[in-house]
């Protein structure tokens, strides 16, 4: 195969690194009010969603990301009934939440209605008809504005929002003030879960800054990660609560999965996966324990000096 005659999608990670993926079929590209959207069929990963030039979700491995984002917090709660999702436009986060039969209401708030409508029509494999579930309530508005105005409280809040970019729509959804709002809108034994940027022993500074920011509002904050092939990196997540240690024992986790009749509904997530994602390397655990800066509305992109070790391109 002559690569010069093929069609390629190029993801620019930063000025030192780029990734190229062979495209099998025609692509679609359009701009909404808030972001540039590309939809490719990549040879390696199938249908792939790209936002502002960075891979967000791919058919071949989206279950890895979404199950790990959602299930630790949902299973930590003894009986989640009301759940808030901020972002998650493709509908896969909503899909994972609705796997729990105890859920009576799942409110999904996304600022980009045009993008969500596209996902409804073209990513049915992702959302599995979650948008038509009577328990789901979809709102098109800014997630922070919703938190500021609502009187609802929730058992679990999940933030599946895009990058910390200077001119991005999500910049005020990564600050101390934002996480204080999340804590206020959680019920007494509630949990916060979020995608928390790339995380490895080499790339950790922005995750650590985000973790310190969340600790301003939550007593118990735990990091975990999983390798996502379409991201070509290990991705970090955070679970936070004021209800005690959020990490379940293997026995507790197995019991809850069985009690909720979920084993057949989870593609990659079980007690072994769970143990693995929370087993961070020793050197990384040490890095995450360091003191440093945190994010505020007035300085939303202030990071620690060691951020020179972190790539300029953040979340996919």
- Residue 59 annotated as binding site: no
- Residue 14 annotated as binding site: no
- Residue 110 annotated as binding site: yes
- Residue 134 annotated as binding site: no
Q: Can you give the C-alpha Rg of the chain in angstroms?
A: 19
Q: Is residue 305 pLDDT above 60, yes or no?
A: no
Q: Is residue 310 pLDDT above 50, yes or no?
A: no
CA–CA separation, 39 and 45 (whole Å): 12
- Of the listed ranges 95-104, 178-187, 200-209, 230-239, the least confidently predicted one is 200-209
What is 62-309's CATH topology?
A: Rossmann fold (3.40.50)
Q: What is the DSSP string of the chain?
A: --GGGS-EEEEEEETTEEEEEEB-S--EEEE-SS-EEEEEEETTTEEEEEETTEEEEETTTHHHHHHHHHHHHHHHSSS--EEEEEE-TTSHHHHHHTTSTT--EEEEEES-HHHHHHHHHH-HHHHTTGGG-TTEEEEES-HHHHHHH----EEEEEEE-----TTSTTGGGSSHHHHHHHHHTEEEEEEEEEEEEE-SSSS-HHHHHHHHHHTTT-SEEEEEEEEEGGGTEEEEEEEEESSS--PPPHHHHHHHHHHTT-GGG-SS-SHHHHHHHT---HHHHHHHTS------SSSTT---GGGGGS-S----
Dump pLDDT digits (tens) for 114-127: 999 999 998 888 89
pLDDT band at 171 (very low <50, low <70, confident <90, very high): confident
Residue limits of CATH 3.40.50.150 in the chain? 62-309
Q: Is residue 315 pLDDT above 60, yes or no?
A: no
pLDDT at res. 6 = 80
Angstrom CA distances, 291 to 178, 211, 214, 242, 314, stand at 21, 11, 13, 21, 21
pLDDT at res. 165 = 56
The stretch 65-84 carries a mean pLDDT of 99
> What are the residue numbers of the active site?
160
pLDDT at res. 13 = 80
- Residue 142 annotated as binding site: yes
What architecture does CATH give domain 3-57?
A: Roll (2.30)
Residue limits of CATH 2.30.140.10 in the chain? 3-57
């Amino acid at each position: 195969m002559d690569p010069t005659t093929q069609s390629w999608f190029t993801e620019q990670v930063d000025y030192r690194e780029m990734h190229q993926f062979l495209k099998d079929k025609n692509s679609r590209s359009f701009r909404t009010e808030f972001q540039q959207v590309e939809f490719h069929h990549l040879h390696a990963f199938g249908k792939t969603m790209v936002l502002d030039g960075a891979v967000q979700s791919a058919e071949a491995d989206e279950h890895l990301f979404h199950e790990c984002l959602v299930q630790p917090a949902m299973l930590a709660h003894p009986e989640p009934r009301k759940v808030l999702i901020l972002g998650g436009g493709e509908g896969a986060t909503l899909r994972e939440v609705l796997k729990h039969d105890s859920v009576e209401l799942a409110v999904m708030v996304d600022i980009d209605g045009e993008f969500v409508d596209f996902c409804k029509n073209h990513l049915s494999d992702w959302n599995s008809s979650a948008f038509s579930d009577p328990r789901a309530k979809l709102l098109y508005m800014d997630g922070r504005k919703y938190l500021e105005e609502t009187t609802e409280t929730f058992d679990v809040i999940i933030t599946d929002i895009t990058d910390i970019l200077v001119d991005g729509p999500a910049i005020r959804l990564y600050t101390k003030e934002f996480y204080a709002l999340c804590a206020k809108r959680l019920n007494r034994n509630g949990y916060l879960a979020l995608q928390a940027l790339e995380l490895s022993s080499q790339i950790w500074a922005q995750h650590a800054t985000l973790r310190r920011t969340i600790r301003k509002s939550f007593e118990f904050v735990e990091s975990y990660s999983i390798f996502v092939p379409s991201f070509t990196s290990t991705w970090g997540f955070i679970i936070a609560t004021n209800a005690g240690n959020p990490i379940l024992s293997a026995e507790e986790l197995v019991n809850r999965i069985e009690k909720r009749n979920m084993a057949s509904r989870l593609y990659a997530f079980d007690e072994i996966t769970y143990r693995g994602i929370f087993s961070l390397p020793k050197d990384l655990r040490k890095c995450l324990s360091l003191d440093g800066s945190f994010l505020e509305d007035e300085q939303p992109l202030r990071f620690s000096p060691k951020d020179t070790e972190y790539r300029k391109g953040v979340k996919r």
